[in-house]
A = this chain, B = another copy of it.
Amino acid sequence: RIMRPDDANIAGNVHGGTILKMIEEAGAIISTRHCNSQAGEPSVAALARVERTDFLSPMCIGEVANVSAEITYTSRHSVEVQVNVMSENILTGAKKVTNKATLWYVPLSLKNVNKVLEVPPIQYARKELEDEGKKRYEEQKLDRLETKQRNGDVILPVINPEPHTVGYSQSSLIHLVGPSDCTLLGFVHGGVTMKLMDEVAGIVAARHCKTNIVTASVDAINFHEKIKKGCVITVSGRMTFTSNKSMEIEVFVDADPFVDEPRERYRAVSAFFTYVSLSKEGKPLPVPQLLTETEDEKRRFEEGKGRYLQTKAKRQAQMQQAAQ
């Protein structure tokens, strides 16, 4: 579809969140279709996890986004979908890959949302494709368990914070989950959640460096718990790490089932977003260093540095491989 002014920031770059939302919609369609391809109980595919995603090149207003999706692996209860996004300038015909994302879905019964159904197996062109898929499946399962433990953390407000501290840029928004945010089962679309997360992360990044900013990548996102229609969700973000040219922001999504439900507020999703700062000509700018004050902030900075160096090393290894 054509990118409109609404989809973009004031410099004309399409929000990462808009792209994440399109990716998730394509993933939800193809996996729901696959899970219902055999006779049996009807189901709706629910997003369980998005793998780390890089935004390879920015998309602009007026360009057309081409989204294509393919199922690449199925386990007994989950589906792996690979989604590619190309931006096309229909005036010049130029096309660029802007995103490749891998998403995991789980089929939930249309009659009983707490029942996970079985996934029809796909055919693999070669045996090794299946083995590689199985390996990815095991890895993400492990990672999902790990992040579940990190989940107690809460972002508290700070009074009169200094510029460039964590407290200075931290931000949060609330959103009442309405009917058009939801799937047939009455739960929030994963894509809607990701769009709100990107919005908050973008505000944190802009507050920190006071320039035009764009999403560079999103770490793996795990959807721990479903969010029901009528909930209020609180999306909060804080900066955890800065390198010379990038900022890492941690985002939490908490759900408050405040009507009709005896349940307490719970953590539904968390993730790390990486942003870069751009000049008016679209060139990367240096980012002010994050000032850490508390022990926790220093620890999180070091952890962020670890993730940053790991990603950098991985990218260099890939480039060397490609060059050989």
Residues of A within 8 A of B (CB): 1-2, 4-6, 9-10, 25-26, 28-29, 32-33, 36-37, 42-44, 61-62, 64, 88, 90-93, 110, 156-157, 159, 163, 171-176, 178-180, 182, 184, 199-200, 202-203, 206-207, 210-212, 229-230, 232, 256, 258-260
Contact = CB atoms under 8 A, between A and B. Distances in A.
A93 B36 CA distance: 7
Contacts of A180: 4-6, 178-180
A124 B260 CA distance: 27
Nearest to A37: B93
A259 B64 contact: no
Q: How many copies of this chain?
A: 3
Residue from the set A9, A88, A210, A258 with the largest chain B CB neighbour count within 10 Å: A258
Contacts of A202: 2, 176
Nearest to A234: B171
A62 B5 contact: no
Contact of A10 (B62, B174, B203): B62
A232 to B, nearest CB: 5
A159 to B, nearest CB: 7
Contacts of A32: 90-91, 258-259
A206 B179 contact: no
B173 A174 contact: yes
Contact of A159 (B10, B93, B156): B156
A8 to B, nearest CB: 8
A262 to B, nearest CB: 9
23 contacts: A1-B25, A2-B29, A5-B180, A6-B179, A9-B62, A9-B176, A9-B178, A29-B64, A29-B232, A32-B91, A32-B259, A33-B90, A33-B256, A36-B90, A36-B258, A42-B92, A61-B184, A64-B171, A90-B206, A93-B207, A179-B182, A206-B232, A211-B259
Contact of A4 (B6, B28, B88): B6
Contacts of A207: 90, 93, 232, 256, 258
A122 to B, nearest CB: 16
Contacts of A259: 10, 32, 36, 42-44, 110, 184, 206, 210-212
Contacts of A36: 90-93, 258-259
Contact of A2 (B91, B159, B199): B199
Contacts of A176: 9, 25, 28-29, 199, 202-203
Given A10-B178, A178-B180, A211-B259, 8 more contacts: A5-B179, A26-B174, A29-B90, A33-B88, A36-B90, A36-B91, A171-B174, A210-B259
A203 B176 CA distance: 8
A174 B182 CA distance: 18
Contacts of A260: 42, 110, 210
